[in-house]
């Protein structure tokens, strides 16, 4: 269910009445929890977030998050635990054991089949069909997956241990696990589950008598009908699952010496994003922000100043940095480097109120070289040679369609070419298996496509769309913009529809004809130069007037009907 990314609809703090209801529901769903354990899982005063999400197939799910880790998820009014909750209380649900290679298949989206279940000498746990249960690895009591029993224990035995055993809903290393702090399970032996302690990796690696005793305990964890070869197979399974944990948790466990050595040899992507974030921050302060703009909302500072300073070919993503949030990064810049001063206006809204322009960190920073600008060519007479601008029609990701581009890591405001939009939409449809099986020309509408592309009146009427209709609707919901590349200038990005050069003939006074020309500036034409050139060519007076309702636009007025002359000039 969580093998693919889900879409977050809302994230709110739980109310008092909902907290009490959740506590009752947890107590009913997991009766083995004691009162003290129940109070730890659903505390009375600590903040619990209720996160409503849509799975990739459209299922509406509610997550209950404590200390940034989802502990429960509710599907169709039924409560299920996550691996984070089960690692604290591994015995609240009946469990089935299997080998580490099977867990890897389950993490990829497969269900647990009965031939892969290891049957202990005491027999399988008693479960009913549809009952919630967990999947563990032989030799480790830490649950690795949560699901629903596909059949009862009696039916499993009568079927000869063939067929589907557990329909898996959530696993270690899926997207629900990734929504939390991405911590890893501890190694818990079967004997220690009833008596005791959690085995840490450091303890397992110790030499001497203590280490030998622990290794012996792990070897004696399971009592299966296979006889003498069980201990070796169990130790092998423990080693495999430990290797799986180390592979996935390497970036999270930086305190261990061996991992620190590996991290020293190469810069991690998180460190690279931290460096890029600092570069864009200092670049924006040094070359973009003016003192007159302060105070400045931090959101505006990020969008209008830091993002434009990101080098070509790179993408600034704060969530991939160690700071995770802009507010935390700015607090670091304020407290450790004293470059800026940030003030909280209201909850969640901060403003950049002061910049220390004399700060050594800021003064020593050297902004990277600007992109190469083509030199302006001159004629023999010393006049500029006009080159028509290169105009590229682009589309900006709007808030309406942002969820559709989230899997491609394209945030609101990202500018894309039509071909890129088409490629992203095609990849999204194929990744979510939305192509109609009977007719490949049609695409099924899932909740995200429905919210992004359909009008409210179409919600219950339109269930499929043609590919061309899908692309055209997507582009129509995006912000149209254009990139102008004019010789001698930096590329200019303009939003909205492009206005052409407007040339009209009007009457003035006693039916005297004049030619009016406007919108020259957008195409790199100087109205003064145009006016002088036309005045010389047609031997008629030319004057300039400001265009009403605009600040920087100028209208060229030429005496007489000279409608053909501008084309000669531009050519």
Phi, psi dihedrals of residue 431, rounded to the nearest 5°:
-65, -30
What is the C-alpha separation between 571 and 388, in angstroms, rounded?
9
Q: Put residue 209 in one of left, alpha, beta given phi > 0 → left and psi -120 to 50 → alpha.
A: alpha
Helices (H), 336-446: 360-364, 402-405, 418-431
Residue 125 carries which DSSP code?
-
| Per-residue pLDDT tens over the stretch 360-406 | 888 888 877 654 444 444 444 444 556 677 788 888 888 888 888 88
What is the C-alpha separation between 181 and 329, in angstroms, rounded?
19
Ranges of residues in the chain whose predicted pLDDT is under 50: 191-231, 233-234, 237, 246, 248, 250-265, 371-383, 565-571
Q: Which pTM was predicted?
A: 0.40
In this predicted structure, what is the pLDDT of residue 307? 83
In this predicted structure, what is the pLDDT of residue 390? 79
Instruction: List the Cα angle 428/431/434 in 5-degree steps.
Output: 80
In this predicted structure, what is the pLDDT of residue 239? 54
Phi, psi dihedrals of residue 374, rounded to the nearest 5°:
-65, 130
In this predicted structure, what is the pLDDT of residue 376? 42
In this predicted structure, what is the pLDDT of residue 229? 41
What is the C-alpha separation between 567 and 85, in angstroms, rounded?
74
Edge-first strand order for the sheet with 48-54 is: 7-13, 48-54, 60-66, 69-75, 78-81
What are 147-152's contacts with CB under 8 Å, separation 24+? 147/111, 147/112, 150/111, 152/127, 152/128
Contact (CB, 8 A) for 351 and 297: yes
Phi, psi dihedrals of residue 405, rounded to the nearest 5°:
-100, 5
Phi, psi dihedrals of residue 446, rounded to the nearest 5°:
-95, 175
Q: What is the CA radius of gyration of the chain?
A: 33
Give the Cβ contact number of residue 11 at 10 Å. 12
| Per-residue pLDDT tens over the stretch 40-86 | 999 988 899 999 999 888 889 999 999 889 999 999 889 999 999 99
Class of residue 172 by CB neighbours under 10 A (exposed 0-12, middle 13-18, buried 19+): buried
> What token pair was written down for 457?
């009146």
In this predicted structure, what is the pLDDT of residue 84? 94
In this predicted structure, what is the pLDDT of residue 85? 93
> What token pair was written down for 42?
């659903």
Instruction: List the Cα angle 278/280/286 in 5-degree steps.
Output: 100
Question: SS3 for 459-524, per residue?
Answer: CCCCCEEEHHHHHHHHHHHCEEEEEEECCCCCCEEEECCCCCCEEEEEEECCCEEEEEEECCHHHC
In this predicted structure, what is the pLDDT of residue 497? 73
With the C-alpha atoms ordered 221, 226, 227, 233, is the resulting torsion angle positive or negative?
negative
Q: Tokens 């890897």 correspond to what residue? A: 104
């Amino acid at each position: 269910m969580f093998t693919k990314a889900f879409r977050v609809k809302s994230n709110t703090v739980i109310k008092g009445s909902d907290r009490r209801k959740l506590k009752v529901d947890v107590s009913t769903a997991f009766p083995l929890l004691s009162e003290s354990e129940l109070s730890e899982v659903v505390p009375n005063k600590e903040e619990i977030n209720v996160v409503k999400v849509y799975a990739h197939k459209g299922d509406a799910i509610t997550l209950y998050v404590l200390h940034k880790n989802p502990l429960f998820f509710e599907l169709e009014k039924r409560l299920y635990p996550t691996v984070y909750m089960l690692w604290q209380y591994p015995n609240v649900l009946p469990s089935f054991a299997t080998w580490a290679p099977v867990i890897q298949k389950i993490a990829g989206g497969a269900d647990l089949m009965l031939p892969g279940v290891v049957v202990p000498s005491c027999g399988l746990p008693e479960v009913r069909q549809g009952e919630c249960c967990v999947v563990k690895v032989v030799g480790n009591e830490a649950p690795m997956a949560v699901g629903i029993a596909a059949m009862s224990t009696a039916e499993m035995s009568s079927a000869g241990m063939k067929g589907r055993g557990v329909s898996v809903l959530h696993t270690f290393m899926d997207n629900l696990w990734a929504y939390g702090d991405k911590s890893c399970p501890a190694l818990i032996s079967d004997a220690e589950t009833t008596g005791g302690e959690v085995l840490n990796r450091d303890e397992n690696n110790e030499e001497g008598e203590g280490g030998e005793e622990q290794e012996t305990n792990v070897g004696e964890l399971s009592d299966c009908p296979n006889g003498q070869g069980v201990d070796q197979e169990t130790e092998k399974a423990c080693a495999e699952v430990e290797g799986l944990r180390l592979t996935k948790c390497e970036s999270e466990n930086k305190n261990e010496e061996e991992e620190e050595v590996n991290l020293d040899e190469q810069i991690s992507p998180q460190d690279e994003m931290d460096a890029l974030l600092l570069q864009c921050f200092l670049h924006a302060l040094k070359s973009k922000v003016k003192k007159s703009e302060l105070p400045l909302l931090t959101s505006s500072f990020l969008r209008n100043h830091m993002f434009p300073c990101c080098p070509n070919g790179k993408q600034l993503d704060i969530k991939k940095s160690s700071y995770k949030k802009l507010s935390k990064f700015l607090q670091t810049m304020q407290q450790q480097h004293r470059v800026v001063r940030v003030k909280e206006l209201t909850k969640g809204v901060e403003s950049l109120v002061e910049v220390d322009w004399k700060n050594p960190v800021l003064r020593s920073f050297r902004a990277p070289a600007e992109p190469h600008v083509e030199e302006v060519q001159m004629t023999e007479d010393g006049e500029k040679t006009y080159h028509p601008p290169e105009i590229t029609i682009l589309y900006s990701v709007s808030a309406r369609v942002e969820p559709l581009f989230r899997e491609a890591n394209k945030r609101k405001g990202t500018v894309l070419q039509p071909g890129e939009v088409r490629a992203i939409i095609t990849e999204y449809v194929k990744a979510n298996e939305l192509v109609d099986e009977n007719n490949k020309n049609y695409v099924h509408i899932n909740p995200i496509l429905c919210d992004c592309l359909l009008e409210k009146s179409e919600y219950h009427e339109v269930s499929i769309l043609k590919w061309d209709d899908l692309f055209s609707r997507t582009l129509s919901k995006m912000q149209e913009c254009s990139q102008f590349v004019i010789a001698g200038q930096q590329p200019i990005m303009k939003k909205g529809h492009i206005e052409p050069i407007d040339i009209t003939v009007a009457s003035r006074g006693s039916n005297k004809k004049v030619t009016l020309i406007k919108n020259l500036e957008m195409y790199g034409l100087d109205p003064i130069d145009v006016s002088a050139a036309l005045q010389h060519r047609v031997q008629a007076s030319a004057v300039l007037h400001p265009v009403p309702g605009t600040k920087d636009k100028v209208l060229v007025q030429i005496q007489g009907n000279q409608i053909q002359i501008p084309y000669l000039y531009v050519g």
